[in-house]
Every structure is written in structure tokens, then in C-alpha cells.
Amino acid sequence: MQTRAVLEDFSIEHIVPYFQPIYELETNCVFRYECLSRLVTAKDQMYLPSEFLYIVGPAQTNARVTQRIFELSSAFCLPKKMNWSINLFQSDLENTRLLSWLEKLTLHTSKHLAGIEVSYDNVKDQAELLSEIVKRLPKLHITVDNVYECNENIYALIDAGIQAIKLRGELLEELNEINDKTDTLQALISCCKKHTCAVIAEHIENEDSLNAVKKAGIKYAQGFYLQPPFSSNAS
């Protein structure tokens, strides 16, 4: 991915959430929103996380970003009764202070109204840790995103009690193109259904990819073709 250098000075207050819906394809209704971090500078230049997070700082600063995005997302989504999730950093997963903060903040909210997303790369060998987080934060909807392989790791994460997985576009293309791997995808979908774990297709960029997802029997999808992220100011 080509990135740009951030040339302006900025503070953590310039990091804000953008909201991208995940759709239930059968009803065309929004299942929940992913709250994506964006840096918007004083000159209204917008940067993706890959373009600014590397200069944000150490783990404790990552936690501050997580808290800020959670608070801003909550302020926007709760009055509208929107189901929503933020992304956690790898360092957040073992930050006991942050997890306690999330636990306290969601103590009196409706179950699974708020949620977190964790990258598959950060937890693929950490099913036990993820299981502990699921038990500690029962009010949160927990999604493993950016899943790019079907193996024992993802099955262990599903078994840990998460509520959803997101399949990367490249994985879906590979499984759809190779006939002998279609059974692999269907086995994964069946496992998720057994565990009440939603399967979400990511990176829906055109009608062909949307049709392929529907053909595979996947019920939820997200991508620019369906709707790009929007800011709270555009609502």
C-alpha cells in the first residue's frame, strides 16, 4: 500500500472515528458499524492509520487512541442506538488497565451494542488469551478481522466464544476460484453457524465480489461498494 508522510504537526485530538457499515445482505439493513481511526489535520488532510500510527508513540499512547476512539464512537452511536465496534491494538490486548476501563464503561450497556475488533494476526496463536477477554468483557461484541486463512487457528478462535469473523477479500477470491477449496469455506461457515458466530466478508469493492459472497452463502458484508466510511459531521 502506498502511504503519504504526515507533514503537519498533530495531537491525539486530531484522531477521530469514521463509521463504515456492515450490512446484512438479505435485508440490506446495517448489522453494525466499524469505527475506523482517521487523522484529520488542521488543514483538513485525512490520513489512514497506516500513515500515522507509526509516529503516534508507545503502547500507552496506543491505549489513549483506543480510549479516544471508543469515547467518540460511543457519544455518536449510543443516542442513535447503533451497534458499533472499534479496533484494538495488539498492545491493548494485554493492557489490564485498558481492559478494566472497557469493562467498567460497558457494565450497564446493552449486550453487544458496543464491540471490539482484533486483527487475526495479533491473536491467531492466542486463543486462550482471547477466551479470557471474552469472559472478562461479556457485554462486548468481539470480532476477529482480517482473516486470511482457514486452519486450526481460526477454529480455535471461534471456539473461544467470539461473535464474528471477517474474511479478507483475497481469501474469498482464492476459495471461490479453487473448486476443491469450496468445501473449506463451507466447513468454516458451518462451524460459525454452530457457534453463533457471524461470517462477514470484507473488501467488497464491486458487484462481482458482492455476487460471489452471496453465492457462497455469506450473510454479512462490508466494503466501499456497499458504503464508504463517513464522519460524524456527514451524518
The residue among 18, 19, 20, 34 whose CA lies nearest residue 226 is 20
Is 178 a member of any domain?
Answer: yes
Is 117 a member of any domain?
Answer: yes
| Cα-based distances in Å from 178 to 153, 184, 201, 205 | 21, 10, 18, 21
Confidence check: pLDDT of 108 > 60? yes
> Picking from 2-6, 44-48, 106-110, 188-192, which range would have the lowest pLDDT averaged per residue?
2-6
The pLDDT score that the predictor gives to residue 60 is: 64
Confidence check: pLDDT of 99 > 80? yes
Higher pLDDT, 233 or 82: 82
Is 2 a member of any domain?
Answer: no
Vertex 153, ends 87 and 176: CA angle to 5°? 85
Q: Which domain holds residue 112?
A: 12-227
Where residue 221 falls (left for φ over 0; alpha for ψ -120 to 50; beta otherwise) is beta
Helix H or strand E encompassing 147: strand 141-147
**Mean pLDDT, rounded, for 69-90:** 95
Residue 132: band (very low, low, confident or very high) from pLDDT cuts 50, 70, 90: very high
Is 4 a member of any domain?
Answer: no
Give me the CATH number covering residue 109: 3.20.20.450
Axis crossing angle, helix 169-177 with helix 182-194, rounded to the nearest 10: 130
Is 235 a member of any domain?
Answer: no
Is 232 a member of any domain?
Answer: no
Confidence check: pLDDT of 1 > 50? no
Give the Cα separation of 88 and 130 in Å (integer). Answer: 12
Q: Name, in order, each residue with C-beta under 8 angstroms of 13's C-beta and a sequence gap of 6 or more.
A: 68
The pLDDT score that the predictor gives to residue 4 is: 54
Is 21 a member of any domain?
Answer: yes
Confidence check: pLDDT of 42 > 90? no
Confidence check: pLDDT of 147 > 90? yes
Is 217 a member of any domain?
Answer: yes
> Picking from 49-58, 67-76, 126-135, which range would have the lowest pLDDT averaged per residue?
49-58
